[in-house]
Amino acid sequence: DTEVTQTPKHLVMGMTNKKSLKCEQHMGHRAMYWYKQKAKKPPELMFVYSYEKLSINESVPSRFSPECPNSSLLNLHLHALQPEDSALYLCASSQPGQPLGYTFGSGTRLTVV
Amino acid sequence: GESVGLHLPTLSVQEGDNSIINCAYSNSASDYFIWYKQESGKGPQFIIDIRSNMDKRQGQRVTVLLNKTVKHLSLQIAATQPGDSAVYFCAETAGGSYIPTFGRGTSLIVHP
């Protein structure tokens, strides 16, 4: 299995809702990442987990809460989002310390209304 | 032709032509470079990479050139096909970091 699977593919949520994005990989990668991508822009790093521990938080607002329950799963919990948080949220994985083999999922298209 | 401005740079080519997508970087400590292809509705997909101790690397229909003197990277796609239409991002790592930093991106449109 050489894929990173993200669910759901599309999500519409209100500003008072709580929702979660899920990411799964079975490549044995021990580093997992969340990125945010706005239209016509490059992906922006949000969080990095290395060996299931949060190693990088790029000053992301607390309304985004990551969780890594095990080495194959990565969640992003969303609460009280703003319309400007609407974007494509990408998950990626790799081996820690190795940019080679960095694999992205297809993303979750999030719309906040 | 190529247009650069406030919008995503766009390169329009005819099917069968060769395409050249350019990328400038600013960090002289960058030591590893990657090209990604992102099709509509998908995540970035690895195309080819090159280390800073090389100046050229070839793959299937793609070639990456690195000019460290002027901090310039290019991706050449031979015999461009409609399936090559996508946004292409260059990315780099530096100083022991293994997390790529993405460049602005170029939209490639291939006309049949």
Q: DSSP characters for A60-81?
A: --TTEEEEEEETTEEEEEEES-
Residue A98's pLDDT band (boundaries 50, 70, 90)?
A: confident
Query: Which 3 state secondary structure label does DSSP give A93?
Result: strand
In the block, tokens 């997909």 appear at B45
How far apart (Å, rounded) are the C-alpha atoms in residues B32 and B91? Answer: 8
What's the one-letter identity of residue B22? N
B40 touches chain A (CB under 8 A): no
Q: Under an 8 Å CB criterion, which residues of A touch B?
A: 4, 31, 33, 40-43, 45, 48, 56, 90, 92, 94, 96-100, 102-107, 109
How far apart (Å, rounded) are the C-alpha atoms in residues B10 and A89? Answer: 24
Cis peptide bond prior to A42, omega within 30° of 0:
no
Q: How much is the pLDDT for A80?
A: 96
Q: What share of chain A is helix, strand, coil (3-state, %, to 5)?
A: 5, 55, 40
Identify all chain B residues contacting A103, using CB atoms and an 8 Å cutoff. Answer: 46
Residue A42's pLDDT band (boundaries 50, 70, 90)?
A: very high
Please count the helices (runs of H) and the strands (runs of E) in chain B. Answer: 0, 11
Q: How much is the pLDDT for A99?
A: 79
Identify all chain B residues contacting A42, using CB atoms and an 8 Å cutoff. Answer: 89, 102-105
In the block, tokens 């989002």 appear at A81
Closest CA to A102 of B64, B32, B40, B30: B32
Average pLDDT score, chain B: 92
Which of A89-103, B8-22, B74-88 has the weakest average pLDDT?
A89-103
- How would you classify the pairing of strands A18-25 and A73-79? antiparallel
pLDDT, tens digit, 9 for 90 and up, residues A53-93: 999 999 999 999 999 999 999 999 999 999 999 999 999 99
pLDDT, tens digit, 9 for 90 and up, residues A9-40: 999 999 999 999 999 999 999 999 999 999 98
Residue B98's pLDDT band (boundaries 50, 70, 90)?
A: confident
Closest CA to B100 of B63, B65, B49, B56: B49
Whether B5 shows a pLDDT value over 70: the answer reads no
What's the one-letter identity of residue A111? T
Q: How much is the pLDDT for B96?
A: 78
d(CA B44, nearest CA chain A) in Å: 6
Identify all chain B residues contacting A92, using CB atoms and an 8 Å cutoff. Answer: 43
Please give the average per-residue pLDDT across A82-106, as a whole number: 93
Q: How much is the pLDDT for A101?
A: 82
